[in-house]
Structure 1
Amino acid sequence: MEYNSGPMTEAMYYVLLALMNPNDRYSLMNVITEISHGRVNMGSGTLYGVLVRIQKSGLITLSEDDGRRKNYIITNEGKEALQSEYNRLVALVNDGIILKEGDLNESTKTETK
């Protein structure tokens, strides 16, 4: 299975961010909470599902498996996908600048006059 480069889920995005440094599944939960400033708290079931999915997509791989603890690391393809998603999110925020500049309806009214 290969990653289709569509929009990522929030869980997938944070797992890939957290795997910029190799980590095991249990440490990942804490790292995700830390890098999201407490906004994302991922349970072990959700995390396991995301890890399986993105490993099948080739975005992460096992860096170590001693039978008891598995350590994961992001692949080059994963880094490219993460950068692409970051660029997409930045573009969304930049497109939304109109919200900071005033009421959307007001700017539409002046353009149609």
Structure 2
Amino acid sequence: MAKPMREPTFWILTALARSPRHGYGIIQEVTALSEGQVTLQAGTLYAALDRLHAEGLLEVDRDEKVDGRDRRYYRLTDHGAAALNTEAARLAANARTAGRQLEGRRRNPGPATA
């Protein structure tokens, strides 16, 4: 079984699932997709991008110069999409298990047992 992803990794890959983005765009997309639950700092993001690039989960799409500043865009690789898909399936299975347990509690709200 694959090791669970760290939450920032999950959100970075999710932010790149539809289209390439530059660093600040990734930060904004992660905040929006997580509904404000996750806010990445630039230092954390760029360290994660370097690690994810080294792991083959994302790659550089292109570099641009905007208002005299360099802007690097990243995109999800096929390997990254597969890893994200695996993690999404793992999280969904966990949520289903929790849901079943909660349903059982609603039907049989007896005393808790250890």
TM-score, structure 1 normalization: 0.83
Pair 1:57 & 2:55 matched: yes
Q: How many residues align?
A: 106
Query: Are 1:5 and 1:81, in contact at CA under 8 Å, matched by a contact in 2?
Result: no
Aligned letter for 1:59? L
How far the C-alpha of 1:101 sits from its partner, in A, is: 3.0
CA RMSD across the alignment: 2.3
Partner of 2:10: 13
The whole-number CA distance in structure 1 between the counterparts of 2:7 and 2:39 is: 11
The whole-number CA distance in structure 2 between the counterparts of 1:74 and 1:107 is: 48
How far the C-alpha of 1:28 sits from its partner, in A, is: 0.8
Amino-acid identity (%): 30
Answer 1 or 2: which has greater strand percent: 2
Say if 1:69 and 1:5 are closer, same or farther in 2 by CA, change over 3 A: farther
Say if 1:106 and 1:49 are closer, same or farther in 2 by CA, change over 3 A: farther
Secondary structure at the residue paired with 2:30?
helix
Segments of structure 1 that go 5 or more residues without pairing to the other structure are none
TM-score, structure 2 normalization: 0.83
How far the C-alpha of 1:49 sits from its partner, in A, is: 1.4
Segments of structure 2 that go 5 or more residues without pairing to the other structure are none
How far the C-alpha of 1:102 sits from its partner, in A, is: 1.1
Moved over 3 A (4+): 103-109
The whole-number CA distance in structure 2 between the counterparts of 1:28 and 1:106 is: 47
